[in-house]
């Protein structure tokens, strides 16, 4: 069968949700994935391995790191997770400016390796860019997306606490993973010294207490192993492989085709709509065309931009829907440059149980009502406390024998860490485009990344470092350090924009339903659709936007409008 009701390009966090919603509504849906197939549990080959069972005890060899300097920098990348990331030569790209593009090509995409933080945006994130002059107006509000946040949270399972913080609205939460003893102290001390700042339990896509809907997905309680990025055989965290795709498959309406690189979306000049998708089979090199009445593009932000830019026709010579020449423009990301930490004395008789897969969140406290700083936007601070083994930080001469074994089990000092996740300004000069002369192994032009920091980013990083240092001092830390690591954009793995939503077709490519203004049967609901970045982790917003758009598309399909 080469014709479907709907095609979803990409099987990750947003693609899985598109498939679930469309299949539940009765649409025969094809999901295209450029990478290999992954089966839940079966293909989590390292899930139960001990450190000594890896050839390099979990680290990558020097030979590998020398050959793959890009992927070796990625958060969570190691010997136990390497099979869920691509090597540098698997899909090259051109860096006009340094940009670290982290990818995972398999069924499930990066939903197998995501960080799992799930803070809701507040009204401020939707309103502030336009109000304060650093972005266009969002075509939707918090009230429009709030019920879809709830829809997603109930299904995937998000732990957290109802904290009544305006900057980070409450959701549909399972019980939170609690603070350890030092984190309890930090939270109280920060709120005592800064009444407007709130350090709360992490809001994470972890099943702390599974509900009936999760048991129906054959998922079970998080075991607090904190080995999530290996793939969880318990289904304790959300991924499309453990949740949305199997759910869609139960409807009988889902077809998944791995090893399928999408070359372009085909446009029918007579109907004024997209007619299908051109695919290259990565095993046979065969070109195949699949047809559908609805197309969802969820290839992950930069690949979504690449596909649309390469989807050229007489009507759209510069890429599908690109009448305003803004496709690929206004690429943005999150700032992860700032980090700080210090040692805290006391709590010597305390430890913690298990390996908490979540971490505390200090909600944004900058520019909440009006712009009060010399920069626009805000930042989330992730924070936590941990205790090291005494041998790691001491000057002990004991390095061998029975005394060394005893020392290994003796706890040392407690330490506190903080790191930032900062909002960036969408700028036309931050862009991606197609190379004019370089192509990949499938004959598709390589993507060029031309994305960098600006003065606003630098000011925000400085403020984070100053405030974090000050908070650590007031908490009572010593040996405090703060650092701007100056890493290139990209390692945040939160790339956004290029196909942004908006009210006006003159300055945006998608409407309030994530439809292309000029090609109504094509929807974009991954990070490429973002009008601005906010400061919260974005994946749950992608899921909510996808569920909302897919339900709308299914209703329009049934009415005969698509």
In a domain, 375, yes or no: no
pLDDT class of 392 with cuts at 50, 70, 90: low
Please give the Cα distance from 261 to 35 (Å, whole number): 8
For residue 225, tell me if it sits in a domain.
no
Least confident piece of the model among 7-11, 55-59, 512-516: 55-59
Residue 393: the pLDDT is 46
The answer to whether position 536 is within a domain reads yes
For range 378-396, the mean pLDDT: 81
Q: What confidence tens digit (pLDDT) does each residue in 297-331 have?
A: 999 999 999 999 999 999 999 999 999 999 999 99
CA 370, 374, 379, 385 torsion-angle sign: negative
Residue 108 lies in a domain: yes
| Mean pLDDT calculated for residue range 178-201 | 97
Q: What is the CATH number of the domain that holds 16?
A: 3.50.50.60
The full DSSP string for 447-471 is EEEE----HHHHHHHHHHHHHHHHH
Distance, in Å, from the CA atom of 95 to the CA atom of 435, rounded to the nearest integer, reads 10
289: containing domain: 3-49+92-117+233-333+428-452+494-559
* Amino acid 403: pLDDT: 76
Above 90 in pLDDT, residue 352?
Answer: no
Q: Has residue 212 got a pLDDT over 50?
A: yes
Question: Do the domain assignments include residue 165?
Answer: no
Whether residue 555 lies inside any domain: the answer is yes
Counted domains in the chain: 1
Q: What is the rounded average pLDDT for all residues in the chain?
A: 96
Residue 412 has a pLDDT of 87
411-422/338-344 β-pairing:
antiparallel
Write the burial class of residue 224 (CB in 10 Å: 0-12 exposed, 13-18 middle, 19+ buried): middle
Q: Is residue 351 part of a domain?
A: no
Radius of gyration of the chain (CA): 23
Task: Please give the average per-residue pLDDT across 345-373, as a whole number.
Answer: 93
Q: How many angstroms separate the CA atoms of 84 and 229, rounded?
A: 8
Examine residue 100 and state whether it is found in any structural domain, yes or no: yes
pTM above 0.85, yes or no: yes
pLDDT above 80: residue 400 = no
* Torsion angle of the four alpha carbons 526, 527, 530, 534, in this order, in degrees rounded to the nearest 10: 130
């Amino acid at each position: 069968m080469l014709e479907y009701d709907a095609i979803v390009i990409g099987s990750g966090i947003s693609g899985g949700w598109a498939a679930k919603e469309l299949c539940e509504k009765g649409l025969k849906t094809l999901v295209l994935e450029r990478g290999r197939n992954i089966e839940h549990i079966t293909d989590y080959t390292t899930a139960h391995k001990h450190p000594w069972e890896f050839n390099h005890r979990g680290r990558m060899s020097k030979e590998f790191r020398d050959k793959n300097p890009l992927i070796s920098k990625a958060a969570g990348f190691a010997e136990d997770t390497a099979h869920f990331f691509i090597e540098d030569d698997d899909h090259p790209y051109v860096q006009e400016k340094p940009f670290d593009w982290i990818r995972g090509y398999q069924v499930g995409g990066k939903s197998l390796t995501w960080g799992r933080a799930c803070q809701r945006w507040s009204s401020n994130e939707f309103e502030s860019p336009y109000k304060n002059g650093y972005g266009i107006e969002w075509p939707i509000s918090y009230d429009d997306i709030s019920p879809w946040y709830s829809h997603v949270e109930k299904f995937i399972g998000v732990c957290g606490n109802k904290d009544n913080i305006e900057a980070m609205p409450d959701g549909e939460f399972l019980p939170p993973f609690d603070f350890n003893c030092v984190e309890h102290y930090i939270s109280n001390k920060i709120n005592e010294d800064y009444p407007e700042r709130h350090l709360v339990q992490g809001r994470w896509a972890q099943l702390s207490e599974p509900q009936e809907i999760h048991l129906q997905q054959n998922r079970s309680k998080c075991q607090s192993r904190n080995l999530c990025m290996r793939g969880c055989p318990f289904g304790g965290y959300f991924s499309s492989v453990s949740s949305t795709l199997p759910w869609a498959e139960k409807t009988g309406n889902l077809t998944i085709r791995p090893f399928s690189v999408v070359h372009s979306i085909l446009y029918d000049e007579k109907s004024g709509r997209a007619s299908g998708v051109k695919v290259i089979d990565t095993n046979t090199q065969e070109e195949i065309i699949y047809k559908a009445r609805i197309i969802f593009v969820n290839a992950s932000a930069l690949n979504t931009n690449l596909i649309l830019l390469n989807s050229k026709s007489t009507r759209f010579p510069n890429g599908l829907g690109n009448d305003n020449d803004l496709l690929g423009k206004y690429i943005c990301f999150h700032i992860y440059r700032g980090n700080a930490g210090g040692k805290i004395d006391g709590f010597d008789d305390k430890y913690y149980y298990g390996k908490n897969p979540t971490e505390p969140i200090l909600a944004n406290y900058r520019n909440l009502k009006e712009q009060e700083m010399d920069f626009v936007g805000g930042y989330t601070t992730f924070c936590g406390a941990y205790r090291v083994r005494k041998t790691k930080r001491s000057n002990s001469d004991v390095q061998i024998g029975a005394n060394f074994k005893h020392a290994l089990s003796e706890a040392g000092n407690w330490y506190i860490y903080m790191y930032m996740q900062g909002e960036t300004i969408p700028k036309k000069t931050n862009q991606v485009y197609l190379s004019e002369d370089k192509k990949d192994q499938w004959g598709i032009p390589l993507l060029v990344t031309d994305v960098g920091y600006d003065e606003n980013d630098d000011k925000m990083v400085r403020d984070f470092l100053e405030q974090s240092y000050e908070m650590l001092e007031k908490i009572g830390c010593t040996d405090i350090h703060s650092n701007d690591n100056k890493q290139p954009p990209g390692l945040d793995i939160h790339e956004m924009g290029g196909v942004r939503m908006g009210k006006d077709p003159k300055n945006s490519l998608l409407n309030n339903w994530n439809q292309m203004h000029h090609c109504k049967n094509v929807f974009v609901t991954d990070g490429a659709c973002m009008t601005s970045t906010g400061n919260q982790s974005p994946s749950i917003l992608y899921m909510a936007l996808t569920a909302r758009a897919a339900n709308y598309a299914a209703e329009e399909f049934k009415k005969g409008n698509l």
